[in-house]
């Protein structure tokens, strides 16, 4: 059993991607929600916590798209913050700072920092760090090598990259890669019959 307790601020905090432009068949939203919930359960039992986090993010956004979560005074409707989020998600490989983003949108740095934190329940710098590292993690998992990839993400030094990675995942990049090698249902003690059933059920919702 998985319980999600989502308040307004944490809901906005996990909306890392721009979903507003998606054109989805509303009649299929329920299936998308069920699939992401199943994928979350499967990923947790596979100890694939990165993909579990991604599934949670997708689940929350499908809940929003399906109008199951409605907040008329949602603070993320702030046009400035929406534009900042879009800018970060499009330029995450650049050396983004509070000062450069404030200059980009012609606002005071202190004002932007305060409004962003109040709206997203996370500081602007922490949000940038999270987006960068999550996107970078996808790349290093596919290549099993992080020693050169970090250079294309706007980090001025390896030590800065390493510090940011450890702040997000609480482990080194090497340990992160090692922890995600060869993760299968066989080595986690998850009942094979139930595992197969959940996988087939998730596939069913994908096809429908």
Question: How confident is the model over 148-161, as a mean pLDDT?
Answer: 89
Same domain, 62 and 40: yes
Domain housing 106:
78-180
Residue 192 within any structural domain of the chain: no
pLDDT of residue 145: 66
pLDDT of residue 159: 92
Convert the pLDDT of each residue in 62-107 to its tens digit: 777 777 654 444 445 588 988 898 899 889 999 999 999 999 999 9
- Tell me what the pLDDT averaged over the chain comes to: 75
Same domain, 119 and 97: yes
Residue whose structure tokens are 């996988």: 199
Convert the pLDDT of each residue in 28-42 to its tens digit: 778 888 888 888 888
Report CA-CA distances (Å) from 179 to 46, 171, 175.
Answer: 11, 10, 6
pLDDT of residue 84: 92
- Higher local confidence (pLDDT), 17 or 44: 44
Contacting residues for 161 by C-beta, under 8 A, at least 6 apart = 150, 153, 155
Same domain, 12 and 98: no
Element (H, E) at 9: helix 8-13
The pTM (predicted TM-score) of the whole model is 0.55
Give the span between the Cα atoms of 18 and 161, in whole angstroms.
25
The residue among 28, 57, 74 that closes a domain is 74
Give the span between the Cα atoms of 203 and 81, in whole angstroms.
36
Convert the pLDDT of each residue in 156-205 to its tens digit: 899 999 999 998 888 888 888 887 665 443 444 455 666 676 777 777 76
CATH of residue 113: 1.10.10.60
Same domain, 171 and 102: yes
Residue 205 within any structural domain of the chain: no
Q: In this model, does residue 11 exceed pLDDT 60? A: no
Spell out the alpha helix ranges (H) of 69-123: 79-90, 98-104, 109-120
- Collapsing DSSP to helix, strand or coil, 148 comes out as coil
pLDDT of residue 4: 45
């Amino acid at each position: 059993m998985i319980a999600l307790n989502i308040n307004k601020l944490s809901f906005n905090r996990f909306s890392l991607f721009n979903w507003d432009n998606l054109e989805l068949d509303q009649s299929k939203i329920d299936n998308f929600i069920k699939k992401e919930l199943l994928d979350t359960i499967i990923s947790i039992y596979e100890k694939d916590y990165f993909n579990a986090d991604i599934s949670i993010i997708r689940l929350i956004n499908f809940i929003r798209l399906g109008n199951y979560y409605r907040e008329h005074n949602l603070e993320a409707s702030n046009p400035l913050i929406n534009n900042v989020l879009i800018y970060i998600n499009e330029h995450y490989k650049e050396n983004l700072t509070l000062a450069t983003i404030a200059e980009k949108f012609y606002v005071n740095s202190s004002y932007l920092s305060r409004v962003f934190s109040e709206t997203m329940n996370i500081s602007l710098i922490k949000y940038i760090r999270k987006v960068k590292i999550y996107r970078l993690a996808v790349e290093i998992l596919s290549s099993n090598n992080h020693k050169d990839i970090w250079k294309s993400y706007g980090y001025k030094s390896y030590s800065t990259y390493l510090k940011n990675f450890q702040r997000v995942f609480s482990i080194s990049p090497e340990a992160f890669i090692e922890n995600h090698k060869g993760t299968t249902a066989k080595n986690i003690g998850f009942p094979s019959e139930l595992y197969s059933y959940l996988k087939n059920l998730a596939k069913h919702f994908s096809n429908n």
